[in-house]
Chains A and B, each alone.
Chain A
Amino acid sequence: MAFDPKQKILVVDDMSTMRKIIKNMLVKMGCTNITEAEDGKPAWEKIQEAYASGTPFDFVLSDWNMPGMTGLDLLKNVRADERFKKLPFLMITAEGEQSNVVTAVKAGVSNFIVKPFNQATLQGKIEKIFK
């Protein structure tokens, strides 16, 4: 399934600066249906609520290092639930260690992006996930 900018996207980051930057990039890519969450826990609640209300998220972009529930724990929750096994999930991190990548891949991440990144890199990652 190709990426459609009308798809419902969830951006998860504890830093509102990062959420704004990512949202700006997504808006420039034509995305209009963007929801934000400031930590893994509210993100997980939003994912379940959206599904229950019949308007599930099509794509999740989440930071790794967050003070409450980490991006990795959010990913594990998502993949442990049959309803979200195939939900595209892009992990964002300031870390570039191989073990992080391997751990995230084992947990079922769709792709991985390292901060700082620009719009072209983000777009490339998203297109790769949806190709």
Chain B
Amino acid sequence: MSMLKDPEMKEIVDGFCEESNDLCQQLEDILDEYEENPGKIALLEQFGQIIDRIMGAAKSIDAEKTGNFCELGKIVSYKASQTDDMKLLEIVTAVLFDTLDILNSLLENIEKSGEEKVEGINLETFANRLKWLEEKFSHVERASVSIDENEPKNKQESIDQLLADLGL
């Protein structure tokens, strides 16, 4: 059974929604501030750091769609924080506002019914918009909080192999 539907996990899932709602408010404040100060691209990095926190917790409670959605938002915002293409940044801001709306709806439905759905919006289509934006930043390497982005992401197995190679 998915954690989202597991009665034993309800307290944790509700807590996740409450906590994530607070973080979404912070994300909205960041975007509002960015709209008023379009040159302040460090705000977009801050956006990425906060949505990354929702992502980690979402994936940990089986809210896979929400987690993947946050991951795309994180990549786009991190990459956007390293460009000075103001036209593209305008699009990014608009899409990140929409991302937030969808994230809020996802959280609301998780809290209500334990289901990751959004009324009237095709999530896949919207995710494709985020992916399209991500591709626009293909020349930008860093997409996360990592020290050096010039490398592929790794799952636990390959991380374990690396740790073994490093003597752990």
A and B are interacting partners: yes
Residues in chain A within 8 A of chain B (CB atoms): 14-18, 20-21, 24, 63-65, 67, 93-103, 105, 109-117, 121
CA distance A117 to B19 in the complex (A): 20
Give the residues in chain B near A64, CB-CB below 8 Å. Answer: 145
B53 at interface by CB-CB < 8 Å:
yes
* CB–CB B153/A18 < 8 A: no
Which residues of B, 15-67, contact A by the 8 Å Cβ criterion? 15-16, 19, 49-50, 52-53, 55-57, 59-62, 67
B123 at interface by CB-CB < 8 Å:
no
Q: Which of B57, B59, B156, B166 contacts A113 (CB 8 A)?
A: B156
**Number of chain B interface residues as a range:** 20 to 34
* CB–CB A96/B154 < 8 A: yes
* CB–CB A16/B19 < 8 A: yes
Given A16-B19, A97-B153, do A105 and B166 touch, yes or no (CB 8 Å)?
Answer: yes
Looking at chain B's contact residues, the main secondary structure is helix
* CB–CB A65/B15 < 8 A: no
How far is the CB of B82 from the nearest CB of chain A, in Å? 16
How far is the CB of A34 from the nearest CB of chain B, in Å? 15
Give the residues in chain A near B166, CB-CB below 8 Å. Answer: 101-102, 105
Give the residues in chain B near A96, CB-CB below 8 Å. Answer: 153-156, 158-159
CA distance A107 to B16 in the complex (A): 31
Q: Which of B11, B15, B52, B62 contacts A94 (CB 8 A)?
A: B52
* CB–CB B12/A20 < 8 A: yes
Instruction: Please name the 9 residue pairs, one residue from A and one from B, whose CB atoms are nearest each other, closest first.
Output: A94-B56, A97-B146, A99-B148, A96-B154, A116-B59, A17-B16, A116-B60, A17-B57, A115-B56
Give the residues in chain A near B148, CB-CB below 8 Å. Answer: 97, 99
